[in-house]
Amino acid sequence: MSENQDLVVILTALNLEYQAVRRRLAGPQVRRHERGTRFEVGTVQGTSCRVALALTNKGNHSAAVIAERAIQEFSPVAVVFVGVAGALWETARLGDVVVATHVYAYHGGTSEDDGLKARPRVWEAPHGISQLASHLARVDDWADDAPGRERAPQVRFGAIAAGEVVQNSRISAEARWIRQHYNDALAIEMEAAGVAQAGHLSGAPVAIVRGISDRADGTKSSAKDRSWQPRAAANAAAFATRLALELVQEKEQTVMDRADGARAAGRLEDHISNTAYGSTVGIMAGSVKDSSVHLNTDAGPKAASPKGLAAELDGFRLHLVRHHAEGALDDDTCREALADLDSARRAAEHGTPESARKALMTLKRLRGLIADCPALAARLAPLVVAAGGPA
């Protein structure tokens, strides 16, 4: 995979939500965007899944800007917005997690003599994310074990309404209007529409994960509902980080499957090049004299195609990351090795003789860098040969 294809961006609006996610990360390091936005990049504890965490502050507009910056900075597997929300109906109980099947920007409308007519924008959750989230909900092993907890939080799937006003009433004109026109929405909040729009424009998959902390019914400021905020934020963070881990693992599997496909295609190409069709025979590095065919058996190993070598390098990257996660490589060696690997991949993709030489030299340097890890060195050796090096 490329440099950031093992990374998921997680965004939050409140410090409470930010800290709930951050507690689940190991070794967070600050990364500053050129415009001043600060991200913390760490790994989900006990895994090699990387997460870039940032605070957007309240509102759809701010969330959209920060989401766009995060996507440009990291090119992530996905963007996950995590936080708390108010429940619009009794379906979702306090502490439950709501995963958006679609997001309504409910402030879209037209004001006419007979009232305000709803004209929302709607963003549907990506199919793959919805399927994966549903699977995790069925498996139901994502929540923390909390002593004394009356019941485990449940995952609910449905629409989320996102606007620009804190909703804390059941009887106000706006509250009645929302429940009338968006009666399938399970929860209401203030950032999902902005993040969904940023993902739509950038082509990045977006997931919205919210913990229910109140009922948006006038009791938000009560001591009881305030006590639910940290619990709801923790539940949302637990599900979101598990979702991030599964998204990265699926991406890794996809890369490995493609690498296997490229290897199979290469073997088929080799087979075809040595197979006769009708009266035509393909011969490489050979000659014909009289009625005899002479093959040059000293031609040496055949270099891989640029596309095939790039796919093989993607597969090798997964093994490199895993050996680092298992402690076989230290941080500095892994960082240098990944840099060499990415450089070799870029060179291999160009397909020119000069870039092929550069790829070979970089892979030879990489071979020396990981020489103390025999398992990795053994996996790299045929790639050096495929790049044109000696067997």
Each residue's pLDDT, cut to its tens digit, for the chain (391 residues) gives 445 568 999 999 999 999 999 999 999 999 999 999 999 999 999 999 999 999 999 999 999 999 999 999 999 999 999 999 999 988 889 999 999 999 999 987 777 877 778 778 899 999 999 999 999 999 999 998 765 566 889 999 999 999 988 887 887 888 888 898 889 999 999 999 999 999 999 999 999 999 999 988 877 766 766 789 999 999 999 999 999 999 999 988 877 666 666 566 556 555 545 554 444 444 444 555 555 545 444 444 445 566 678 888 888 888 888 888 878 888 888 888 888 888 888 888 877 888 888 888 888 888 888 888 888 888 888 888 888 766 5
342 part of a folded domain: yes
Same domain for 319 and 386, yes or no, is yes
Torsion of Cα atoms, 175 then 178 then 183 then 189, to 10°: -90
Strand partners, 98: 156, 210
Residues 229 and 332 in one domain: no
Domain housing 338? 301-391
281 located within any domain: no
- Domain assignment of residue 20, yes or no: yes
pLDDT at 375: 84
Q: What is the pTM (predicted TM-score) of this model?
A: 0.67
Residue 140: the pLDDT is 92
Query: Which among 251, 284, 317 is the end of a domain?
Result: 251
Closest CA to 321 of 242, 379, 257: 379
> Which 3 state secondary structure label does DSSP give 156?
strand
Which pLDDT does position 391 carry in this prediction?
A: 53
Flag whether 279 is in a domain.
no
CB–CB of 102/271 below 8 Å?
Answer: no
Q: Residue 390 is which amino acid?
A: P
Same domain assignment for residues 210 and 310 = no
**The residue to which tokens 């070598």 are assigned:** 309
Catalogue the long-range contacts made by 105-109 (C-beta closer than 8 Å, 24 or more residues apart). Answer: 105/60, 105/162, 105/163, 105/193, 105/197, 106/161, 106/162, 106/163, 106/178, 106/181, 106/182, 106/185, 107/163, 107/164
- Asked whether residue 172 falls in the same domain as residue 305, the answer is no
In a domain, 275, yes or no: no
- Assigned domain for 153 exists: yes
Residue 53: partners with Cβ closer than 8 Å, 6 or more residues away: 9, 10, 11, 12, 18, 21, 22, 25, 28, 39, 40, 41, 42
Domain endpoint, select from 251, 280, 313: 251
Give the C-alpha separation, 389 to 391, whole Å: 7
* Domain end among 212, 232, 251: 251
Tell me how many domains the chain contains: 2
**Residue 228 is assigned to a structural domain of this protein:** yes
